[in-house]
């Protein structure tokens, strides 16, 4: 347990020490909020869908969580290249504890990033409709952070260079985000798009967050929570399995 805590603390401290990283990571969410929120807001409203900032906010929060969580796998490759991973591996602790510490650390950092973006959305006009459901929103944020941190570590466990990791992630992360319903409603989609959105795990995270923040869930908060919990458990298992076989 102490190993998990130490690795978790290391990830969190690294995040708070890198102020430029925190500020830089807010650029993309802010761009999406301003460009899409105000640029397409009138079109969205004329289509009878209401305030686009209200709709877009949860999607941008989860976008920030997604990117931060998945790219936490870069830290694993970085540790491998500079020998820190080998030093950790030779310690008398199980690899499972090491993996859990890194995963929880990455998920915590992604959750903090999502919280900062949530505060940012308030300044551009987003307003939660039920403050009592904010703890439920926090659960969805953390589960999505945990799910995609596990995915990032699972993929990083099979790679040896950052270029390969970033290439694979770009082919995964962008489709996961754009096909999750973060930018558009899920109703009335063509059949093939509907199928794709249903198999995208981020869809359920965004839908659950919308349900908690603006009462706008398509599938129901219970369904979203169940699906994400199951997928998170599966990804944690896969990540643990691959990390157990990693060569430092």
pLDDT at residue 35, rounded to an integer: 81
Distance in angstroms (rounded) separating the CA atoms of residues 135 and 164: 37
The pLDDT, as a whole number, for residue 119 is: 92
Nearest-angstrom CA–CA distance, 177 and 206 = 10
pLDDT band at 154 (very low <50, low <70, confident <90, very high): confident
Number of compact structural domains in the chain: 1
Q: 47 falls in which pLDDT band (50, 70, 90)? A: low
| Rounded Cα–Cα distance for residues 109 and 152 (Å) | 14
Highest mean pLDDT among 44-48, 159-163, 178-182: 178-182
Mean pLDDT of 170-187: 87
Q: Which domain holds residue 11?
A: 2-244
Sequence-separated (6 or more) residues with CB below 8 Å from residue 243: 95, 96, 98, 99, 153, 154, 157
Higher pLDDT, 2 or 86: 2
pTM of the complete model: 0.90
For 182, residues 6+ apart whose C-beta sits below 8 A from its C-beta are 56, 58, 59, 60, 62, 63, 202, 206
pLDDT at 130: 85
The Cα 117–Cα 122 span in angstroms is: 9
The answer on pLDDT for 46 being more than 80 is no
């Amino acid at each position: 347990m102490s190993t998990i805590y130490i690795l978790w603390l290391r990830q969190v401290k690294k995040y708070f020490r890198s102020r430029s990283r925190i500020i830089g990571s807010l650029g993309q969410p802010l761009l999406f909020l301003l460009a899409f929120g105000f640029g397409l807001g009138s079109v969205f409203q004329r289509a009878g869908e209401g305030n686009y900032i209200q709709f877009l906010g949860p999607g941008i929060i989860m976008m920030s969580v997604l990117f931060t969580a998945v790219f936490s796998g870069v830290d694993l490759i970085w540790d491998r290249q500079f020998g820190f991973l080998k030093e950790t591996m030779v310690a008398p602790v199980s690899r499972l504890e090491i993996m859990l510490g890194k995963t929880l650390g990455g998920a915590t950092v992604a959750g903090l990033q999502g919280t900062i973006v949530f505060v940012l959305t308030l300044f551009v006009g987003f307003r939660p409709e039920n403050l009592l459901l904010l703890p439920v929103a926090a659960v969805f944020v953390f589960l999505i952070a945990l799910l995609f941190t596990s995915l990032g570590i699972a993929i990083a466990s099979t790679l040896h260079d950052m270029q390969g990791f970033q290439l694979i992630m770009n082919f995964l992360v962008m489709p996961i985000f754009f096909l999750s319903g973060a930018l558009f409603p899920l109703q009335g989609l063509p059949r093939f798009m509907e199928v794709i959105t249903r198999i995208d795990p981020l869809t359920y995270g965004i839908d659950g967050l919308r349900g908690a923040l603006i009462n706008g869930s398509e599938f129901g908060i219970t369904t979203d929570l169940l699906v994400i919990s199951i997928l998170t458990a599966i990804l944690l298992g896969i990540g643990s399995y691959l990390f157990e076989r990693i060569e430092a």
